[in-house]
Amino acid sequence: MSEKKKQDYIVVSFSGGKDSTAMLLRLIELGEHIDEVISCDTYKEFPAMYRHLDKIRAVVEKAGIKFTALKNEKSFDYYMFEFRPEQPTGFFGKYQNIKGRSWATSKVRWCTKEMKIRIINAHLRELSKQYDIIQCVGIAADETHRLERKSNKEKNKRLPLVEWGWSEADCLKYCYEKGYDWEGLYEIYDRASCWCCPLQSLKSLRSLRINFPELWEELKDMDSRTWRKFQVNYSVKDLEKRFQFEEERTKHNLPIKGRDFYSQLKERLSA
């Protein structure tokens, strides 16, 4: 006897960014059936992002749709500063006094895994015991590098923005037209991800220091309490020195790139 087919269950993954916001609002606007919207807190979103999430949650619940806010019971700070595996091997086995995963790297993005992927997947696995899950993911039509990923080609994934041909710019425009502006975050950043990410560009870090000095101070404190360097070439303290040096040179109409700049910057950092 064949196994009884499960009922389809439509889940919208909502990060709070421009693409997932546009997807979610448009799906609701079109009157498409949604069983549940899931969001996962990383503990390190911009304050404006948390306020945006609250606004969208109110819209979702007003539409009679279930909104589930997921969160790892262990905080970002726990994993960064306190974590040690029960049976230390590899790096943790070699350095017995090391605690915490420290800053993520391009090869070890523990934060994405522990704060989002593992938590979301566990929730979806639980739902899949009862339902056939169809997961709507907010990948824009012009994000070709993400569209090529095997995980985004799975048969249970639906990509509404691709279906509609909406680019990232289209998504932001749509959200602005609906009155959602993230208090200006997208006027400062191309992507409004975790504010403390060590993989962000120098441009983004300059913006953090200028526009969110309280978060910059927190970043410096975090960096002072962990063992891995913030970036390959810079600690946060080094970045502070670099940005101050850039400001000094800019005031005197001097370039902030080139051999002379980097030679003097090296001296400044070693002082």
- CB 35, CB 11: distance < 8 Å: yes
* pLDDT of res. 132: 96
- Rounded to whole angstroms, how far apart are CA atoms 45 and 36? 22
- Rounded to whole angstroms, how far apart are CA atoms 54 and 60? 10
Q: Work out the pLDDT band at 122, boundaries 50, 70, 90.
A: very high
For the stretch 56-75, pLDDT in tens is 999 999 999 999 999 999 99
CATH 3.40.50.620 fits 7-190, yes or no: yes
| Average pLDDT of the residues of the chain | 94
- Rounded to whole angstroms, how far apart are CA atoms 27 and 160? 8
Please determine, for residue 26, whether its predicted confidence score (pLDDT) is greater than 80. yes
**Mean pLDDT calculated for residue range 102-129:** 95
Question: Would you list the DSSP string of 53-120?
Answer: HHHHHHHHHHTT-EEEEEE-SS-HHIIIII---SS--HHHHH-TT--S--S--SS--HHHIIIIIHHH
Please determine, for residue 2, whether its predicted confidence score (pLDDT) is greater than 60. no
Please determine, for residue 96, whether its predicted confidence score (pLDDT) is greater than 80. no
Higher pLDDT, 94 or 14: 14
Higher pLDDT, 243 or 150: 243
Backbone φ and ψ for 256, nearest 5 degrees, come out as: -110, 35
pLDDT > 70: percent of the chain: 99
Least confident interval from 11-20, 63-72, 88-97: 88-97
* pLDDT of res. 247: 97
Judge if pTM exceeds 0.95.
no
For the stretch 33-55, pLDDT in tens is 999 999 999 999 999 999 999 99
Helical segments of the chain, H only: 18-29, 47-62, 76-77, 90-94, 110-112, 118-128, 144-147, 160-164, 168-177, 185-188, 202-211, 213-224, 236-251, 259-270
Please determine, for residue 1, whether its predicted confidence score (pLDDT) is greater than 70. no
**Mean pLDDT calculated for residue range 92-117:** 90
- CB 136, CB 13: distance < 8 Å: yes
* pLDDT of res. 3: 61
* pLDDT of res. 94: 72
* pLDDT of res. 154: 79
Domain ranges of the chain: 7-190, 200-271
